[in-house]
Amino acid sequence: MNKRLKAILARRNELKALAEAEGRSYTAEESAELTKLATEASEIKAQLDQDKEFEALETLDLESNTLQGRKTSQAPIGGNAKPKDETAEAMSGFKSHGEFFMAVQAASAGDVDPRLLATASNVVGNDGGNEGFSLPPAMRNSIFEILEADAGDMLSKVTSEVTGASSVSFLKDVTMPWQAAGIEINWDRANNKFEPTKFNALTAGELKLNGLSVFVNVDEDLLEDAPRLGQRMMKMAPMAMRWAINEAIRNGDGVGKPKGYLNSGALITVAKETGQTAKSLVAENVAKMYTRMLPSSISKSHWEITPELLPELMKLKDDAGNLLWTPLNSGYKEAPNGLLLGRPVVFNEHPEAAGSKGDIQLVDPSGYYLALRTAAAKYAESMHVYFDQGLRSFRWRLRLDGKTILTEPVTPAKGTLTKSHFVTLAARA
């Protein structure tokens, strides 16, 4: 390892340990020194990359000269170059997940494995005073497959974008074609003069991305066991992250985290029926919820329902005695999910308990906007892993934020019932 780079990392660890021991943030002088060290480390990294490029050219030249000498047999296509190992490249040269995490732990003590600095996206980064390493591509993709592999997944269904910025502006839609939003429609007539108009402030929104951190506590025994460490970090930690993200999309309060649609001004809450018993569900409830969904969203909507309401769903009938809900394969032959008024039912643990507001929801996920921090393809820089020596734990960090695209329900062109992407039923206590 480059001696100067090792010295830079040692000094960074020294400053960090001093600040933590005194229970304070970095001083202005320390922050300036850290910035200078980070710049110098990046320059060293660029020099190392350049050296590798020249070494590769020298190797190529040597192979070329060898092939042009006396030959007794046909030279292989491509000379003596070895085939590209895409698997190893996707793992940044690491043989396993556990080996990568053990390298991160060693780097915290100043012993940086060159493979951690193999690509630009894996350079030690500074994110608000926190330094860590981004994951190799294969590991990032595996993590997000876990995040999206859940019955209650919203991450893959909402309207999402990736960004390299710490805050983003997005187009929010509080109006429909029949409402003015800085757009004026005029029918052409002879001698008709049109005045220019502007988009109003209601069409723009801004998100400041927040960090989601997950700590994975480890002991010395686990740190020395690569297979167990890889399992803990690549399975259990992403499961915890998946729950937190999906819960925030639904119930987040917007303070340091996404604002969930159940706390949004766009949510419509349908009142219970007069005399309706506690924890019950009646046909009128689901019919009235359905009428409050935006017509353009019906084909994209689904029901989010707590499993506690399954007995109530099985009893729902129309005036002719026809069941309103049955499993997809007809009857009760297969495990239930099925359709309710033609829209899919999803049972998961995110809806509230039976009888509470939010125990049954009709939602169109595309009405929720989520921004993820990244500057390259598929979350290339959005997720980092750190090793906190004081806590003896790894820390994942993912930056994201989100909110509903609508800020309030939509007033219809004709009629009185407002509509939205998100509809729920009031409590029946």
Looking at the structure, do residues 267 and 324 belong to the same domain, yes or no? yes
Looking at the structure, do residues 319 and 388 belong to the same domain, yes or no? no
Looking at the structure, do residues 165 and 272 belong to the same domain, yes or no? no
Looking at the structure, do residues 337 and 379 belong to the same domain, yes or no? no
Report the C-alpha gap between 211 and 106 in whole angstroms. 24
**356 is a domain residue:** yes
Q: What are phi and psi of 195, to 5 degrees?
A: -95, 140
pLDDT by residue for the chain (429 residues), tens digit each? 567 777 788 788 788 778 777 777 778 888 888 888 888 877 777 777 777 776 666 665 555 554 444 444 554 545 555 566 677 777 888 888 888 888 888 877 778 888 877 654 444 444 433 456 777 778 877 776 776 677 678 888 888 766 656 666 655 555 555 554 445 565 666 565 655 554 444 445 666 777 677 677 777 777 777 777 777 777 777 888 888 889 999 999 988 889 999 999 999 999 999 999 999 999 999 999 999 999 999 999 999 999 999 999 999 998 888 888 876 666 655 556 889 998 999 999 999 999 999 999 999 999 998 887 653 333 333 456 767 665 567 777 777 888 998 989 998 888 899 999 999 999 998
Report the C-alpha gap between 253 and 313 in whole angstroms. 30
Question: Is 0.75 surpassed by the pTM of this model?
Answer: no
Looking at the structure, do residues 219 and 242 belong to the same domain, yes or no? yes
**357 is a domain residue:** yes
Looking at the structure, do residues 295 and 418 belong to the same domain, yes or no? yes
Looking at the structure, do residues 360 and 243 belong to the same domain, yes or no? no
Helices (H), 213-260: 220-223, 226-231, 237-251
**19 is a domain residue:** no
Q: Where are the beta strands (DSSP E) in 18-147?
A: 125-127, 130-134
CATH number at residue 335: 3.30.2320
Looking at the structure, do residues 252 and 389 belong to the same domain, yes or no? yes
Looking at the structure, do residues 275 and 320 belong to the same domain, yes or no? yes
**58 is a domain residue:** no
Query: What SS3 state is found at 279?
Result: coil
Which of 362, 356, 314 is CA-nearest to residue 336?
314
Looking at the structure, do residues 305 and 231 belong to the same domain, yes or no? no
Looking at the structure, do residues 216 and 347 belong to the same domain, yes or no? no
Burial (CB count within 10 angstroms: exposed 0-12, middle 13-18, buried 19+), residue 293: buried
User: How many independent structural domains does the chain possess?
Assistant: 2
Tokens at 319, concatenated: 């005036």
Any residues with CB less than 8 A from the CB of 413 and at least 6 apart, and which?
176, 178
**300 is a domain residue:** yes
Q: Which domain holds residue 379?
A: 140-182+198-259+371-404
Report the C-alpha gap between 95 and 30 in whole angstroms. 37
**202 is a domain residue:** yes
CATH number at residue 223: 3.30.2400
**97 is a domain residue:** no
Looking at the structure, do residues 329 and 350 belong to the same domain, yes or no? yes
